A and B are shown apart, each in its own frame.
Chain A
Amino acid sequence: MNAFPAHALASTALEGIGQAFAAASGAQLSLSLAISALLFVIGLVGFMVRRNMIIMFLCTELMFQGAALAMITFARMHMDVSGQVFVIFILTVAAAEAALALGLVVLLHRRRETLSAEVWSDLGEA
């Protein structure tokens, strides 16, 4: 066990990740893109079929993460950090937006004593 001291382990792990990234093949990138698409679709379908406003809100977060993952993947594919920078921004915005949206949901819930989005459909046209 001593042959693998902690710092060596750590460095090995970092190296391994680095190598894993460096060695990431086209197939691995396709996989992470597929996961990103899956996350996005799950969020989309969830948003469309559910009525609970908190669930719908979580679904939008899922779609966010799907998009973010796609950006990281493309950043790796093109060896360009700007995609990752964007993701940091997205996370920040999403955090602020989550605070606002949850506040809204709380207010809406107070008005009608329910979380269903259907009770607010009278706000629309016609």
Chain B
Amino acid sequence: MITDFPIPQAVVAPELAWVGLALLLPLISAVLCVVCAAARLPGKLPAVFTVLALAASFVVVLRAYNAYSGPVQVPIFEWMSFAWGDGRFQQFTAPCALYIDSLTLFWMLFVTGLGTLIALYASEYMETEKGAGYARFFFGISIFLFAMSSLVMGDNLVMLYLGWEGVGLASYLLIGFDYQRPAAVAAAKKAFIMNRIGDLGLALGIFMLWANYGTLQYSQLFQAMNAGGQTVVDWDVSLIPFLLMLGAFGKSAQFPLFTWLPDAMEGPTPVSALIHAATMVTAGVFLIARMYPFFALHPEALATVAWIGGGTALLAATIGMAQYDIKRVFAYSTISQLGYMFLGLGVGTTYGACYHTFTHAFFKALLFLTAGAIMHGFAGQLDLRKLSGLRHIPGWRLVSWTMFIGCLWLAAFPYTAAFFSKDAILLKALTSARWDFVFLGWLGLFTAALTAYYTFRVWFRVCCGPVHFEPAADGHHGDASHDAHGHGSTHPAQGAHAVDHGFHPHAPKWAISTVLALLAIGTVAAGFPAYNEAFAHGSNWAQRMIAGSSAAAGAQPEEHAAESAAGETDHHAGHSTVLGMEAHTGLLVVGATASIGGILIAAYLHLLSRASADALRRALMGNWVTRWLPICMERKWFVDEIYHGLFRLPLWLGSQVLHFGDKHFLDGLLVDGIARVPIAAGKLFRPLYGGALQGYAVSMVAGVALVLAWMMWVWLRGFE
């Protein structure tokens, strides 16, 4: 399978060292942010530095894209180099170098592009923090971009690991940005600890790669793959993809390790948009796409990825249906969409997975930023039951309609970009020779209907219907101060009955509006590769990008794949239909039905007849047979509680036992016990020192008398 699509061999190109600026610029801006904080410079200077640095690194990536003609390896400086012999397994090198192939560029384009836009958005969103945490916030963003660039552009797995941990650190710092709120601190710790579990797998996978191939540089690893080194399959070689995927599942919030992502919404919304929706969480997809040859060696590893992805997509979608916090709904939709990407990787279409990552990055960033604009304007209100009819409030039209675009894309409405990228995944699954992949494909279609439902549940609730809103009571997400400053020029429309009559939402200003508009354009534009293929019968840019990289095996155009994978063609022949129709047409029909059906159900329950949504819930809760369904969905299938019971409770009990032993045995018996001996002895003699001077004299005399008496006795006895 691999040898049919040899991985393009990288050439060494030291003259491209300027691409390293994409890494260096965010680092410089991070240093400048520290300087701003140290010098207590007021104003938006940190934001200016960050936005400029990120924009410059986006330009660097664009120039690198223009100059790109094939995979290159760009040495920058020697970083780690040890040798303890001349043999293959007796040296370890991890230079600071870049490995640039089309997959790298594909990723860097949206990482730096979205990073720039979201940093611009944050310059307005975070303005209430000016002076206090402003520099700290942009320091975190800069460090994140540096680490993410190292992760994506690094020449070896050591640089990937550096970036992997760096983005984890940035994520931790930014989730816990509002460090005085216990919920934010707990969420930051949870994200960090759950990621450590995955990172352990990644680290072990990297160790095993070195132990089996003697190198961690992609170019040499791929060379070994092309040379057919994969035919020797030892048990520990087959462990490698499983260990790597554990790391990917941790970072990308897949089934066993997904509960940190919804909690990460405690961070400021631009962070949720950039790190926890658009870029960082796709690192797991990148890792598997980058190391795809190693996964492709083991069909069972890919099947595991597919099952975990498909299962997570469904699980997260069902939870997302029953949440009331807008950001949480979007967080679960992120987990669900990431599930699709892993499903795509697992069933063997790296193109579908990576293209879905690309489209998802745009529309999910857009959705989060609209949610952030709402939160910013309505004093932290995010409960979709307490916001309604935003579309009719002047100043909120842009937010409403850009959110509508994001929702259409997330719902994979026919002929949107996400429709094509999701269908690429589902098509591959449904036409697979494996029955379980076909099953997962249908599961994915069902999930698509759920996705359309919960997405439009949010939009119909928040943006449509009668105008009604109330500000958050508890200053959710530390944005309480927002209602205190300027009301802007906007006021609720006539007839708006805000519960708190003194409250006026303030509409977003230029930075937020510009970014929302640009992102909406980007969201639409992300569909062009697919449109070009579907309507103009041209070539698909995204497919070309992925096909030219290490993930080539899963990204060939179909004719090519059919020719090359001769062994699989007869399997495909029997399965390239969906519901009796030709696969593409069939999927178009089924996918469109799922999406539109979900939207229509949402329209009925949350726009036309909101009472019937409550009635439905009451009916389900009233019947003991169906009662479990809403309860489990609202309580997130009790996953947190199960983890609590399985891990936290035993650990807590163990700590209590150890604490008891420490307190009563080590501390009580040994330390305090020994200390009690002199105390008791002191108590025995204390009455002698009552304070009467004569008493001391008497005791001295008595002592001397005793000594004398003893001496006399000895003396007399000696004379006998």
A-side residues, CB < 8 A to B, are 44, 47-49, 51, 56, 117-118, 120-126
Contacts and interface: CB of A to CB of B under 8 A. Distances in A.
A10 B693 CA distance: 49
A48 B691 contact: no
Contacts of A124: 689-692
Interface stretch (B213-221, B643-651, B662-670, B694-702): B694-702
A122 B691 contact: yes
A55 to B, nearest CB: 12
Contact of B689 (A118, A122, A125): A125
Interface string B108-148: 00000000000000000000000000000000000000000
Nearest to B698: A48
B693 A117 contact: yes
Contacts of A125: 686, 689-691
A120 B687 contact: no
A74 B482 CA distance: 99
A101 to B, nearest CB: 13
Nearest to A122: B691
Given A48-B701, A125-B686, A120 B691 contact: yes
A48 B697 contact: yes
A48 B694 contact: yes
Interface residues of B, number: 11
A47 B694 contact: yes
A60 B693 CA distance: 13
A28 B657 CA distance: 82
Contacts of B689: 124-126
Q: Which 8 A-B pairs have the closest CB atoms?
A: A124-B691, A121-B691, A125-B689, A117-B693, A125-B686, A121-B692, A126-B686, A124-B689
B686 A120 contact: no
Contacts of A121: 690-693
Interface of B: 686-687, 689-694, 697-698, 701
Contacts of B690: 121, 124-126
Nearest to B691: A124
Given A126-B686, A126-B687, A120 B701 contact: no
A75 B301 CA distance: 105
A91 B694 CA distance: 25
A73 B692 CA distance: 35
A123 B694 contact: no
8 contacts: A47-B697, A117-B692, A121-B692, A121-B693, A123-B691, A124-B690, A125-B691, A126-B689
A120 B694 contact: no
B695 to A, nearest CB: 8
Contacts of A47: 694, 697
Q: What's the dominant secondary structure at chain B's contact region?
A: helix
Given A125-B686, A126-B686, A49 B691 contact: no
Contacts of A120: 691, 693
B686 A56 contact: no
Given A49-B694, A126-B686, 15 more contacts: A47-B694, A47-B697, A48-B697, A48-B698, A51-B694, A117-B694, A120-B693, A121-B692, A123-B691, A124-B689, A124-B690, A124-B692, A125-B686, A126-B687, A126-B689
Contacts, number: 35
Nearest to B704: A44
A119 B242 CA distance: 84
A118 B687 contact: no
Nearest to A124: B691
B687 A56 contact: no
A117 B697 CA distance: 13
Contacts of B692: 117-118, 121, 124
Contacts of B686: 125-126
B361 to A, nearest CB: 77
A120 B691 CA distance: 7
B683 to A, nearest CB: 9
Contacts of B693: 56, 117, 120-121
A88 to B, nearest CB: 25
Nearest to B701: A44
Nearest to A56: B693
A56 B694 CA distance: 10
Nearest to A49: B694
A96 to B, nearest CB: 21
A35 B632 CA distance: 105
B599 to A, nearest CB: 87
B687, B690, B697, B701 pick with most chain A CB within 10 angstroms: B697
Contacts of A49: 694
A67 B698 CA distance: 19
B706 to A, nearest CB: 15
A44 B697 CA distance: 8
A115 to B, nearest CB: 12
A122 to B, nearest CB: 6
A60 to B, nearest CB: 10
Contacts of A123: 691
Contacts of B698: 48
A126 B692 CA distance: 11
A122 B701 CA distance: 22
Nearest to B692: A121
Contacts of B687: 126
A72 B123 CA distance: 99
Nearest to A125: B689
A49 B698 CA distance: 10
Nearest to A121: B691
A125 B684 CA distance: 12
B60 to A, nearest CB: 79
Contacts of A118: 692
A47 B691 CA distance: 15
A106 to B, nearest CB: 17
Contacts of A56: 693
A51 B692 CA distance: 10
A110 B240 CA distance: 88
A118 to B, nearest CB: 7
A37 B160 CA distance: 95
Nearest to A60: B697
A77 to B, nearest CB: 19
Most buried by B among A120, A121, A122, A124: A124
Residue among A117, A118, A126 with max Cβ neighbours from chain B (10 Å): A126
A51 B689 CA distance: 17
B712 to A, nearest CB: 15
Nearest to A117: B693
A124 B688 CA distance: 9
Contacts of A126: 686-687, 689-690
Nearest to A51: B694
B315 to A, nearest CB: 71
A85 to B, nearest CB: 25
B383 to A, nearest CB: 67
A99 to B, nearest CB: 20
A47 B694 CA distance: 7
A3 B279 CA distance: 133
B694 to A, nearest CB: 5
Contacts of A51: 694
A36 B697 CA distance: 20
A125 B393 CA distance: 81
A125 B689 CA distance: 5
A118 B687 CA distance: 16
B28 to A, nearest CB: 69
Nearest to A53: B693
